[in-house]
Each structure stands twice: as C-alpha cells, then as structure tokens.
Structure 1
C-alpha cells in the first residue's frame, strides 16, 4: 500500500473513531452565525457544509458556548479537508485551535486515531515531491505544534533517505534560510513553538550531508546559528 493510500486509510479510521460523537445543540455568537448555521452545526456531521466547517475551524474559541466539544465533533471533517488541501485555512491556525480544544485529553481511541493521521500524513509528505496541497513547512509546523514536539518528525525524516525526502529537505531549507528567518523561527499561529534550537541542530548534524545550500556553510552565519541553537527556548 502506498503512503497516499495509507493516509486515506488513516482518515477513514479517524471517521470511524469519531462516529460515536453525537450531535448536540450548538450555541454561540449569533452576530457572526445565523440561526440556520447553528442548526446545521447541531445536526448530522455529514450534512455540515465545507464552508461552515472551515469557518468553525478558524473561529476564535469564545464564539462558542462549548468550543472544545464542537471542535472535537468536527475534528474528522476538519482534518480530512486540511490534509487534502480543501480547507483553505492557515494550517498553523488549525494546530493552535486543536491545542486549545485539548485534543490530547480526549479518549484514547480518538487521540490514537488522530496521531495515526499525523504519522501517515508526514510519511506521505516525505514520499512525495513536488509536494501535496500543503507545503513541507506548513505540514511540519502543524504536526509539531499539535503534538508539542518536533524531534520525532525530524527523526523520521533523517531515516527517510529518498530523492523525494531530500527534495523536500531542500525546499524547507530554502524557505527557512530566507532572510535568516531560521535564527529565530517560531511555529504556530501564535508563535507558541520555538523551533530554532531543534531544527538548527538537526540541519547542522543529522542531515548536513544531504543539504547543498551554501548558506549553511557561511562561517559567520554558521556560528550565529550554532549560538542561537544553544540558547534556551
């Protein structure tokens, strides 16, 4: 089974894991959402329009009387639209919203199904170049902020020595090296994850032999990056 097929299988498993999440009366800001929107959100999950799912996915939590429960119920729809490039909402914002919804505190079958999606999505991303609908940087940012850790994803990348993974690596380096952004790189819509120490250390050691970008070899920049990587987050 290809990585893309495994991703679709993981998304289907996510749907099944959340199938027991029953509808409930959704209440919230009636200035931004009409009564028919609230009624739609209170009904069958499959009948909620993609536009409304996207709106809720991006909305600030205080617009809803029970944001965690609403986000939890919509999670399989939000995640499927996200990884297939149909959500059209900032990926880093979705990561921050999932954290705000407390997804890691949900019942084990739900959190395990979500973690499986992150793992298979990451493998599928590394397996494909040109990439899918979500850039390598945005994918790494989302799974890092959502799970609260970057290192496992970098370890998977280091162990994936394929032309596609190397091409994705070149894309990421070109992105984060632009105007020296990597020296103070924060991920998440609210910049809640300081990525510089982990990412720089990884680039300068674990995968240095796979990166041809000369900016990593500039003596001044290299020393500056090392010093930044040693600072606490």
Structure 2
C-alpha cells in the first residue's frame, strides 16, 4: 500500500470513528450565523454545506455555546478536505482551533484516529512532491496539535527520498528568507517556538541534503546556542 493509499485508509477510519458523534442542538452567535445556519449545523453531518464547514472551522470559539463539541462533530468534514488541500482555511489556524477544542482530551478512539491521520499525512507528504499541502504547513499543523516537533523531524531524517529532499529545499528557502528561522513560531497565534529544534536539525541532521549557502552563515550557530537557552 502506498503512502497516499494509507492516508485514504486512515481518513476512512476517521470518518467511521467520528460517525458515533451524535447531532445536537447547536447554539451560538446569531449576528454572524443565521437560524438556518444553526439548524443546518444541528442536522445530519453530510448535509452541512462546504462553505458553512469552512466558516465554522475558522471561527473563534466564543461564537459557540459548546465549541468543543461542535468542532469534534465536524472533524471528518474539516480534516479530509484539509489534508487533501481543499479546505481553503489556513492550516495553522486549524491547528490552533483543534488545540482550543481540547482534542487531546477527547475519548481515546477519537484521538487515536486523529494521531493516525497526522502520521499518515506526514508520510504521504514526504513521499509526494508537489503535495496537496506544502510540507511546512503540514509540519506546522502536526507540531502544534501534538505540541512536539522533533518526532516529525526524525521521520523526515529517516526519509531520504527525492520528494522529501525537494520539500526540504523548499522549507529552507522559505524559512531562510530574511532569516525568519531566527524567530520561527508555529501556530496561528505563534504558540510553538520552533527555532531551536528546527535550526539545530537543519544545521546537523540534514545539512548534507540541501544546497543553500545561507545555512553556512557564521552567525547561525551562535543564534542556535541562544535559542536553545530560551524557554518555550
């Protein structure tokens, strides 16, 4: 089974797992959402329009009387278009909303299904270039949602494929522009300080896999030492 096929398999499993989430009476901001919108959100999941799903996926939590439950129920409608590049909502915003919804506190089958998606999505991304969602955005989302960067970088290190190396070159070109790497934060609200881990990884684990003279700038090792000493 290819990585892309594995991703589709875990997305199907996610749908089945979250299908146990029952509809409920959704209440919230009637200034931004009509009674028809609220009724639609309270009805069958498959009948909620794509536009409404996208709107709720991006919306601030205080617009809803029970934001965690609403977001949890919408997960299948949010995650599949997200990983296939069709949601058209900032990936880092989705990461922040999932954290705000407390996804890691949900019942174990739900959190395990999402963990499976993060893993399969990352593997599929590293084996496909171009990918539906750029590697940097995927990495940011899975880092913020799991509050951990190094495990995902370890997988990248262990994936020396042409696609993974092309993604790596893209990432370096992106984060080295105006030396963004020196103060790199992930998440829509900058929740995760990524400089120390990512810069250390770029200067050591995968340095020989990318050609970019900016990584040889003499000030970067000193900046790395400073970043390592800073609290998250």
- Which position in structure 1 is the counterpart of 2:5? 5
- Which position in structure 2 is the counterpart of 1:98? 98
Report the alpha carbon displacement of residue 85 of structure 1 after superposing the two structures with TM.
1.1
Report the alpha carbon displacement of residue 73 of structure 1 after superposing the two structures with TM.
0.2
In the alignment, is the contact (CA less than 8 A) between 1:201 and 1:226 conserved in 2?
Answer: no
The CA distance in 2 between the partners of 1:95 and 1:53, in whole Å, is 15
Alignment of 1:108-147 (within 5 A): 108-130=108-130, 132-147=131-146
In the alignment, is the contact (CA less than 8 A) between 1:200 and 1:226 conserved in 2?
Answer: no
- Which position in structure 1 is the counterpart of 2:205? 206
- Which position in structure 2 is the counterpart of 1:185? 184
Mark the runs of 5 or more structure 1 residues left unpaired by the alignment.
none
- State the TM-score, normalized to the length of structure 2: 0.97
What is the root-mean-square deviation of aligned Cα atoms in Å? 1.0
The CA distance in 2 between the partners of 1:220 and 1:138, in whole Å, is 27
SS in structure 2 opposite 1:140?
helix
The CA distance in 2 between the partners of 1:155 and 1:214, in whole Å, is 23
Mark the runs of 5 or more structure 2 residues left unpaired by the alignment.
none
Report the alpha carbon displacement of residue 228 of structure 1 after superposing the two structures with TM.
2.8
- Which position in structure 1 is the counterpart of 2:169? 170
- State the TM-score, normalized to the length of structure 1: 0.97
SS in structure 1 opposite 2:176?
helix
Report the alpha carbon displacement of residue 133 of structure 1 after superposing the two structures with TM.
2.2
The CA distance in 2 between the partners of 1:193 and 1:96, in whole Å, is 10
In the alignment, is the contact (CA less than 8 A) between 1:200 and 1:229 conserved in 2?
Answer: no
The CA distance in 1 between the partners of 2:119 and 2:204, in whole Å, is 23
| Number of residue pairs matched by the alignment | 232
Report the alpha carbon displacement of residue 230 of structure 1 after superposing the two structures with TM.
4.1
Report the alpha carbon displacement of residue 225 of structure 1 after superposing the two structures with TM.
3.7
Per-residue displacement from partner, 1:6-63 (whole Å, max 9, x unpaired)?
1111100000001110100000000100111000000000111110000000000000
- Which position in structure 1 is the counterpart of 2:152? 153
- Which position in structure 2 is the counterpart of 1:62? 62
